[in-house]
């Protein structure tokens, strides 16, 4: 089926991979990548690209009209660690960009929206283990507050204006193609690069800080799977919990050691420890499994294998 798709924030950790998979699926010319900066050579050469600021409604509207865009994936955001340093800039980027796409939906200029939420919507008062879909949230980070507010607005625009907006709460995402930037879970990507380059890693979280995580291939499958689902099957219009695996720095280090026996990890927690402490250890995603058949494929062992294999191949 032909459809015209715009990705905002296409040069980031998720956007880069999502763009390539969507281009494969729907044809390169039908998937317009956009960001405030240019991206990898691969991304830039594989299809159309527009320099676009996700906070500029008029500029997005022009691109939507020009390419007759039907779907928008909004992947531009400031993540948890950076957002603690620039609260107002984070709020402005994360909320203005969301309102821009929601309002394009309300005006019937686009048909469908994907917007990612995060495990950061939960806070210290949420149940830590198998955190349910519906529970106490009370996020204590700037990023989490913006994501929780965003979820409320998504549900509101769906109920009030019939906007077809869909969302998942991503856990920490582990990928080898593009580095993450400014997140608390970034250690789980950095650790692989350092393991290969130096056989050691100094972690900014404590040894036993367990967080929900997911390999990027699973995240992309979840995203596209949800977008392809029958709208009537989607009972959650705020954002779906997703689960793949949970591990701590010492557990991922042990997994890397099975491939690189001399690998050593040390711990020097900084301000990101407080952010991580406020988030769940593991997530209950039974609603996503029931509504649209979500199921992860990668666990810690297969993630470690894929990361090391691909990063070795890159060097």
List of residues 6+ apart from 203 with CB closer than 8 A = 187, 191, 249, 253, 265, 266, 267, 268, 269
Residue closest to ligand SER (Cβ): 183
Please report the DSSP string for 9-68 in residue order: TTTSHHHHHHHHHHHHHH-GGGEEEEESS---HHHHHSS-EEE--TT-HHHHHHHHHHHT
C-beta of 184: minimal distance to ligand SER in Å?
4
C-beta of 50: minimal distance to ligand SER in Å?
26
120 or 220, CB closer to ligand SER?
120
The closest alpha carbon to 134, from 158, 112, 165, 155, belongs to: 155
Residue 156 bears catalytic tag: no
d(CA 256, CA 130): 26
C-beta of 185: minimal distance to ligand SER in Å?
4
Q: What does the binding site for ligand SER look like in residue numbers (CB under 6 A)?
A: 79-80, 118, 120, 143, 170, 172, 183-185
32 or 307, CB closer to ligand SER?
307
C-beta of 265: minimal distance to ligand SER in Å?
19
Q: Which of 73, 143, 170, 201 is catalytic?
A: 143
Map residue 190 onto helix, strand or coil: helix
Estimate to the nearest angstrom the gap between the alpha carbon of 314 and the chain centroid. 23
79 or 253, CB closer to ligand SER?
79
102 or 119, CB closer to ligand SER?
119
Q: What angle do CA 186, 187, 191 make, to 5 degrees?
A: 125
Active-site positions read 143
């Amino acid at each position: 089926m032909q459809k015209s798709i715009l990705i905002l924030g296409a040069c980031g950790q998720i956007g880069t991979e999502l763009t390539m998979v969507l281009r494969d699926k729907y044809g390169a010319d039908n998937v317009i990548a956009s960001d405030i900066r240019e991206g990898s050579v691969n991304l830039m050469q594989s299809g159309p690209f527009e320099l676009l600021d996700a906070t500029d409604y008029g500029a997005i509207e022009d691109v939507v009209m020009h390419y007759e865009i039907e779907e928008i994936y909004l992947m531009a955001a400031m993540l948890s660690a950076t957002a603690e340093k620039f609260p107002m800039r984070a709020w402005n980027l994360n909320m203005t960009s969301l309102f821009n796409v929601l309002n394009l939906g309300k005006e019937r200029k686009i048909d469908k929206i994907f917007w990612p939420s995060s495990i950061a919507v939960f806070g210290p008062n949420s149940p830590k283990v198998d955190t349910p879909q519906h529970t106490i949230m009370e996020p204590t980070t700037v990023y989490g507050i913006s994501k929780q507010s965003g979820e409320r607005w998504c549900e509101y625009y769906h109920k009030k204006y019939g906007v077809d907006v869909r969302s998942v709460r991503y856990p920490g995402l582990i990928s080898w193609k593009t580095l993450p930037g400014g997140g608390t879970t970034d250690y789980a990507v950095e650790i692989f690069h350092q393991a290969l380059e130096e056989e050691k890693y100094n972690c900014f979280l404590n040894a036993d800080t367990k967080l929900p995580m997911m390999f990027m291939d699973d995240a992309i499958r979840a995203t596209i799977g949800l977008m392809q689902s029958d709208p009537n099957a989607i009972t959650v219009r705020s954002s779906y919990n997703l689960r793949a695996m949970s591990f701590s720095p010492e557990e991922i280090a042990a997994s890397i050691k099975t491939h690189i026996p001399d690998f050593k990890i040390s711990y020097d927690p900084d301000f990101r420890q407080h952010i991580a402490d406020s988030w769940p250890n593991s997530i209950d995603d039974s609603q996503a499994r029931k509504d649209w058949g979500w199921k992860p494929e990668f666990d810690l062992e297969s993630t470690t294998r894929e990361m090391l294999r691909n990063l070795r191949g890159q060097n």
